[in-house]
Amino acid sequence: MRTKTRRTAAAALAVVTGTMTGCTLVNPQAGPLGFGHDDPWGTDNYCAPDAYLEEPYFLGERVRNLTDAPITLTGIELVNPTGIELVAAGVAPVNPDADGFMGGNRELADPAMPWPQMSAEPLQYTLSHGEQINLIVQIKTNGRARPATVDRLKIRYESGNWEYTEYSGASLKWVPTASC
């Protein structure tokens, strides 16, 4: 099986690395999985005096199968987490009346957004042609790291005879301080 890697960032092109051939390609849409709208979800910063994120926190990424072939999501990881751990991952249908996924604690999120059945990694879900879903991860902090951060999400999937690794352009920073 061949492997491709793509990194997405706010205003950058995706980079694909073909590890079987050793070549590197630059293409705005290199893999068959489309992310969100035109912009990846942004960086979130949260501040509170002498506090830590006690409740599980949810991050989301809207993804779509842009091909005629099925795409199977095979895993998700946090990239460079400090004081944050992945609790579970899941998928939820897209609410056509909502503008993307609103992250945060469940009670603070979009009340019209359907919530998924969350399960521990590895994530396994197959998207059919044109299907769009919200890929959701549940994270928690250990309460000790100041600040608690995660650089982005690493998403693995398969389509045809290719394995892909995508890096979302999002990050999260939890800053417990009274000065924000």
pLDDT digits 0-9 by tens, 56-102: 566 777 788 989 999 999 988 888 888 888 888 888 777 655 555 55
112 versus 85: which is more confidently predicted? 85
With a cut of 60, say whether residue 23 has pLDDT above it: no
CA angle 162, 86, 91 (to 5 degrees): 60
The Cα–Cα gap between 129 and 178 comes to 48
Asked, for residue 154, whether it belongs to a domain, the answer is yes
Tell me, what CATH number does 101's domain have?
2.60.40.10
pTM of structure: 0.65
Asked, for residue 83, whether it belongs to a domain, the answer is yes
Count of other CB atoms within 10 angstroms of residue 73: 22
Asked, for residue 11, whether it belongs to a domain, the answer is no
- Among 16-25, 36-45, 76-85, 104-113, the range scoring the smallest mean pLDDT is 16-25
- Among 21-30, 74-83, 90-99, 166-175, the range scoring the smallest mean pLDDT is 21-30
Query: Residues 61, 101: contact at Cβ < 8 Å?
Result: yes
- What is the extent of the structural domain holding 114? 33-174
The Cα–Cα gap between 92 and 133 comes to 6
Q: How high is the mean pLDDT of the chain?
A: 65
Asked, for residue 101, whether it belongs to a domain, the answer is yes
Overall number of domains in the chain:
1
Asked, for residue 63, whether it belongs to a domain, the answer is yes
What end-to-end distance do the CA atoms of the chain give, in Å?
48
Which pair of tokens denotes residue 3? 């492997």
